[in-house]
Structure 1
Amino acid sequence: MSTDGGSTVQTGRLAKPEGVLAPRYRWVSVGMCLLVTLAAFEALAVTTIMPTVSRELDGAALYAFAFAGPLAVGVVGMVVAGTWCDRGNPRTVLFASVGLFGAGLILAGLAPTMGLFVTGRLVHGLGGGALTVALYVIVARVYPPPLHARIFAGFAAAWVVPSLIGPVIAGAVAETVGWRWVFLGVVALVVLAMLMVVPAMRGVHGPEERPAGGRTELVRAGLAALVAVAVLALTLAAGSRGPVQWLVPVFAAAAAVAALRPLLPVGTLRARRGLPSVILVRGIVAGTFFSAEVYVPLLMVTQYGASPAVAGLALTAAGLSWAAASWAQGRFPAIGHRLAARLGALGLTIAIASLLVTALTGASPVVVVVGWAFAGAGMGLLYPRLGVLTLEYSTPADQGFNSSALSIADSTGSAIALATTAIAFSALGGAASPIAFAGVFAVNGVLCLAAWLCGGRIHRR
C-alpha cells in the first residue's frame, strides 16, 4: 500500500520508504541519470579531444568558439525550456531537447569542416541547456518531495563519474578509432536512455492553469538571445585583426551586460551583499575554471607533445579532487560558507599560478596535472555552497528565478571568460607561442582576484 504521494510502501506490518530505484521509479531514475552522465561525458570529452579536432579540421581560429558557443546558446535553451515547461508539458520539452542534443552530436561527429563542427556544437548546446531545465521540472512532477534530494544526489554522482574516467576514455577513443566516435558512439546511448525514460513520461502533464505573464517571458527569451548573440560576436572577434578585434568586443560586452541585468537578481553586477554576490561569484569562478580548463590539454599537446589520453590526466585529476572536496564540504559543517569561498579562491589561484609558471618556464607537465587538481578542489569546496546559499536566500515565489539566474551566471560567465581568453590567445600568437598561453592564464589570474574580492560579500551583514 502506498502513502504520502507514493513515498512509502507497506511491507508486512512496517511501512518502508520507497527509494528512487523502487519499481515505479527505477527506469526513469536510471534513464535520467544516464542522460546526465552523457551530457557530462561530452563536456569533458570535447575538452580532451579538441586539440586533435582543431588540427585535423584546421580550426585553430574557432577553437574557443567551439566551447563558448554552446554555453551562449545554452542560455537561450534554459530560458525557453523554463517558459515551455511552465506553459506546456515538460515531457515535450524533454523529447525536443534530447532530439537537439542527439542531432548536434551527429552533426559534430560527421562534420567535414570546422564550421560544420561548430554548428553541431551550437545545436548540441541549445539542446543541453533545455535538457537541464526539463529534467529538473520532471523530477518535481514524477517524484514525491521526500525523494527529490535523492534523485538530485544521483544527478551529482552521474556528473562526477565521467569527470573521473571520461577524459582518458575520450583520449583513448580518439587515438584508436578516431575522435568522431566520441560523438557518434554516444548517440546510441542517448537512444537507450530515452527508451528507459519514455514509459514513465506518460503520466507527466502540463500545469492545470497556465501562468500569466507571457509578455514578460517573451522578453526574457529575447534578452537571453541577445546575450547569446553578443557572446558569440565577442568570441568570433578573437580571430579578427585590426580595429575589429578590439572594437567588436567592447560593443558586444556592453550589449551582453545590458541584456543580462534583467535576468539576474538586482545588484548582481554591483556585487551587492547576499544573493547578488552569490550569483556573481558563481559566474566568476565558473569563468575562471572552464576558460582555463580548455587550454590545459592544448598546452600539454602543443608544448609537450602529449597524447590526448595523457593530456586528459589533468582533467581526471581535477575531477577526483572536485569529488573529494565536495564530499568533504558536505561532511564537515565547520567549513562555513565564507571559509569555503576563501578556500575555493585559494585553490583556483594556486592552479592558475602553476599554469602560468609552466607556460613561462617550460616546467614539467607534472606541474600542470598537480596544479589543476587544486583547481578541482577549490571548485568542489565552493560550487555546492553557492547552490545552497541560493536556496537559503530564496522564497517559494522566487526559487525558479534565482535558480535560473545561477545557471545563467554559470553559462554566461564561462562563455564571456572563454571569449576574453581567446582574444588574448589569438593576439599573442596562438598555440605556437608559450606567451599566448601565459596571456590566457594572466586573464584567469585577474578573475581569481575578482573571486577573492567578491567572495567575502556572499554573506549578508
Structure 2
Amino acid sequence: MSTVEHETGEVRSGWKALLSGRNAAYSVILAGGVTLHAVNIYIVTTILPSVVRDIGGLEYYAWSTTLFVVASILGSALSSRLLERVGPGRAYASATALFMAGALICAVAPAFPVLLTGRFVQGLGGGFLLALAYAVIRLVYPEALWSRAIGLISAMWGISTLMGPAVGGVFAELSIWRAAFWSLVPLSVIFGTIAISVLPRGSRDEAEPSPLPLPQLVLLTASVVAVSAGSVSANPLWNATGLAVAGLMAVLLVRAERGARARLLPKGALDTDGRLVALYATIALLVTGMQTDIFVPYFLQVLHGQSPLIAGYLAALMAMGWTLGSMLSAGRAGEAGTRAIRTGPVIVLAGLAVLLFFVPVPGSVRLQLIPICAGLLLVGLGIGVAWPHLVTNVFKETPVSEQGLAAGSITTVQLYATAFSAAAAGMVANLGGLSEPGGAEGASSAALSLFGIFLVAPVLGLVSVRRLGGRRNPETVAEAAFGD
C-alpha cells in the first residue's frame, strides 16, 4: 500500500499536527480501536468471577484468556490480508463487527462453553483492531508523524488499565455482568460507523493479494495453546511440558516460515545478521520483562499488606510507565530514536533490579512501597521509551510491498511473547515456592526467583539492540536508492 497524499509539501511533525484537522479524526479511530480492545480485556478480567458464580465453568476459567489470546494472535497475523482485500475503512468495520458479535455471544451465553465461543470471536476482532492500528498509521499520516501516532496508541493501554477495572468493578458490584458485554455493542456500532466513514474504503495495495500462510498459522496456534495449557496447572512438570511443546512448535514455525511463499513476517525478518531480526527480538524481550506484573498484585497483598484494589492499581504502574515513556519519546527522530531503543532495555533492567531487591522483603511500611512503585514504573517506562521507534524502524526496514505484513507481525510478535513469557513466569513462580510452601515464605521465594530470572530478558535486550547496526534489508536499500 502507498501512503495517502498530503495537500501541502510542508509536513508538520508535532502533537498539534497529529491532533488537528483530518489527522485528529484518524487519531480518534486508531486510538479508539485499541482502547475498545484493551478496556474489554480489563473489564472481563474483573467480572469473570461473577460470571463463574452465575453460569458455572470454573474448570474452564483460564481458557477464557487462552482462547482470547489465541484468537487475537490469529487476527493480528491475518490483518494484512484483510487490509489488502478491503482497504482501511472496511477492514476496521469488519474487525469491529467481529468484536461486537463476540460481545453479543458473551452477553447471552447460557453456559461457560458458549461464553468461550464469544471470547474467541471477540479476540479475533480485537487482534485485527490492534494490528490495523499500526498498519493504517503509515497509510494516513506522513512518516514524520509515525512515532507520535504509535506513542498515542501505546498511551491507550495505560488509560485502559485505569478505566477497565473500575468499569468492570461497577458491573460486578451490581451483579449485572451481562450488561458489561451489552455496553460494548452500542460503542462498537458508533466506532465502526465512524471508522468506515472517515478512513479510505478501497484497497490501494500495489501487490497482488497474498495467499494465507496456513502451515504457520496452525503451528502458531498450537504453540500458543500448548504454552497456555501448560500455564494453568500448579504442577511444574506440566508447566515445563507445555513450554517444551510450545518451543518445539516455535522451531517448526520458524522452519516453515523460512521456506514458505506465503509468510507471517516480512522478507529479511529471520536473517540472523539483519536489522529486522534485532528489532523483533527487542520487541519480544522487552514485552517478556513486563510479564512479571502478573504476580505483582499477589506479592503486594501477601508480602506488603495491601488491599486487592490498591495492589491492582499499583501493578498498573507498569502500564502507566509504558504510556508515559511512549508520550515522552515519540517526538524523537533519527539518531535520537535509535538512542531511545538502546536506552529501553537499560531502564527495564534497572526497574526489575529494584523490584528484585525490594519486593521479596516482607513489610507493610508505606515507605517500602516507594521503591517498589518506582521499579514498576521504570519497567513500563523502558518499554514505552523504545516502543515508538522499534515499530517505526520495522516499517523502515520492510519493503513497501510488505508494509501491511510488517504491521500485523509487530502485534503477532508482541502477543506471542506475552503468552509465552506469561506461562514461563507461572512456571518460575511455582518452582520458586508460590504454592509450596506457599504463604509469605513462598511468595518471598517466588518473587526472588521471578525477578531474578526475568532479569535475563532485558540483558538479552541489550545484546539485541547492539545488533541494530547490522545489515540493512537489501530490498529497502534498493528502494531507497531507486527513489534517490
- In structure 2, the residue matched to 1:174 is 172
- In structure 1, the residue matched to 2:249 is 255
CA distance in 1, matches of 2:443, 2:55: 21
Residues 402-417 of structure 1 aligned to structure 2 (within 5 Å): 402-417=406-421
CA distance in 1, matches of 2:296, 2:110: 26
1:223 Cα offset (Å): 0.7
Tell me, yes or no, if structure 1 residue 232 matches structure 2 residue 229. Answer: no
- In structure 2, the residue matched to 1:211 is 208
1:308 Cα offset (Å): 5.4
Q: Which amino acid aligns with 2:415?
A: S
- In structure 2, the residue matched to 1:342 is 346
Q: Percent identity?
A: 23
- Going from structure 1 to structure 2, the CA distance change for 1:270 and 1:198 (only over 3 Å counts) comes to closer
426, 451, 458: which one pairs with 2:458? Answer: 451
Equivalenced residue count is: 441
1:207 Cα offset (Å): 4.0
1:225 Cα offset (Å): 3.2
- Going from structure 1 to structure 2, the CA distance change for 1:267 and 1:53 (only over 3 Å counts) comes to farther
Query: Residues 72 and 125 of structure 2 are in contact (CA less than 8 Å); yes or no, is this contact kept in structure 1?
Result: yes
- CA shift digits 1:400-427 (9 cap, x unpaired): 4444333221011001112233445567
103, 106, 113: which one pairs with 1:105? Answer: 103
- Going from structure 1 to structure 2, the CA distance change for 1:124 and 1:178 (only over 3 Å counts) comes to same
- CA shift digits 1:287-340 (9 cap, x unpaired): 331x33333345556777866543432244334333333344346749543233
Residues 138-153 of structure 1 aligned to structure 2 (within 5 Å): 138=136
Query: Residues 288 and 448 of structure 1 are in contact (CA less than 8 Å); yes or no, is this contact kept in structure 2?
Result: yes
- CA shift digits 1:56-100 (9 cap, x unpaired): 777676565444442332221122221132234444432322122
Q: Which amino acid aligns with 2:418?
A: S
CA distance in 1, matches of 2:373, 2:166: 13
TM-score, normalised relative to structure 2: 0.73
Q: Which runs of 5 or more residues in structure 1 are unaligned?
A: 10-16
408, 430, 438: which one pairs with 1:433? Answer: 438
CA distance in 2, matches of 1:57, 1:301: 29
TM-score, normalised relative to structure 1: 0.77
RMSD: 4.2
**SS of equivalent to 1:7:** coil
Q: Which amino acid aligns with 2:414?
A: D
1:344 Cα offset (Å): 2.8
CA distance in 1, matches of 2:297, 2:270: 32
- Going from structure 1 to structure 2, the CA distance change for 1:331 and 1:402 (only over 3 Å counts) comes to closer
CA distance in 1, matches of 2:109, 2:307: 23
- Out of 169-178 and 426-435, give the one that drifted further: 426-435
Query: Residues 154 and 323 of structure 2 are in contact (CA less than 8 Å); yes or no, is this contact kept in structure 1?
Result: no
- In structure 2, the residue matched to 1:13 is none
Residues 287-436 of structure 1 aligned to structure 2 (within 5 Å): 287-289=288-290, 291-299=291-299, 309-330=309-330, 333=336, 336-351=340-355, 354-355=358-359, 357=360, 361=362, 367=369, 369-424=373-428, 433-434=438-439, 435=442
Query: Residues 325 and 381 of structure 2 are in contact (CA less than 8 Å); yes or no, is this contact kept in structure 1?
Result: yes
- In structure 2, the residue matched to 1:460 is 469
CA distance in 2, matches of 1:265, 1:141: 18
187, 190, 193: which one pairs with 2:191? Answer: 193
CA distance in 2, matches of 1:83, 1:48: 33
CA distance in 1, matches of 2:276, 2:301: 40
- Out of 339-348 and 426-435, give the one that drifted further: 426-435
Query: Residues 48 and 167 of structure 1 are in contact (CA less than 8 Å); yes or no, is this contact kept in structure 2?
Result: yes
CA distance in 1, matches of 2:326, 2:389: 9
CA distance in 2, matches of 1:155, 1:55: 35
1:193 Cα offset (Å): 1.5
CA distance in 2, matches of 1:60, 1:318: 29
- Going from structure 1 to structure 2, the CA distance change for 1:21 and 1:181 (only over 3 Å counts) comes to farther
Query: Residues 7 and 146 of structure 1 are in contact (CA less than 8 Å); yes or no, is this contact kept in structure 2?
Result: no
CA distance in 1, matches of 2:167, 2:47: 10
- CA shift digits 1:180-229 (9 cap, x unpaired): 5444323322222123223335x5113476616x4xx32x2431232122
**SS of equivalent to 2:69:** helix
- Going from structure 1 to structure 2, the CA distance change for 1:375 and 1:182 (only over 3 Å counts) comes to farther
Query: Residues 273 and 457 of structure 1 are in contact (CA less than 8 Å); yes or no, is this contact kept in structure 2?
Result: no
1:381 Cα offset (Å): 2.3
Q: Which runs of 5 or more residues in structure 2 are unaligned?
A: 10-15, 258-263, 471-484
Tell me, yes or no, if structure 1 residue 278 matches structure 2 residue 275. Answer: no
- Going from structure 1 to structure 2, the CA distance change for 1:430 and 1:125 (only over 3 Å counts) comes to farther
- Going from structure 1 to structure 2, the CA distance change for 1:211 and 1:167 (only over 3 Å counts) comes to same
CA distance in 2, matches of 1:431, 1:32: 45
CA distance in 2, matches of 1:305, 1:178: 30
Q: Which amino acid aligns with 2:295?
A: Y
**SS of equivalent to 1:457:** helix
- Going from structure 1 to structure 2, the CA distance change for 1:42 and 1:341 (only over 3 Å counts) comes to same
CA distance in 2, matches of 1:331, 1:143: 14
CA distance in 1, matches of 2:62, 2:448: 14
Query: Residues 351 and 373 of structure 1 are in contact (CA less than 8 Å); yes or no, is this contact kept in structure 2?
Result: no
- Going from structure 1 to structure 2, the CA distance change for 1:135 and 1:268 (only over 3 Å counts) comes to closer
CA distance in 2, matches of 1:26, 1:388: 20
- Going from structure 1 to structure 2, the CA distance change for 1:278 and 1:249 (only over 3 Å counts) comes to same
1:140 Cα offset (Å): 5.4
**SS of equivalent to 1:204:** coil
CA distance in 1, matches of 2:385, 2:205: 40
Query: Residues 434 and 446 of structure 2 are in contact (CA less than 8 Å); yes or no, is this contact kept in structure 1?
Result: no
CA distance in 2, matches of 1:139, 1:391: 10
CA distance in 1, matches of 2:144, 2:267: 32
Query: Residues 151 and 388 of structure 2 are in contact (CA less than 8 Å); yes or no, is this contact kept in structure 1?
Result: no
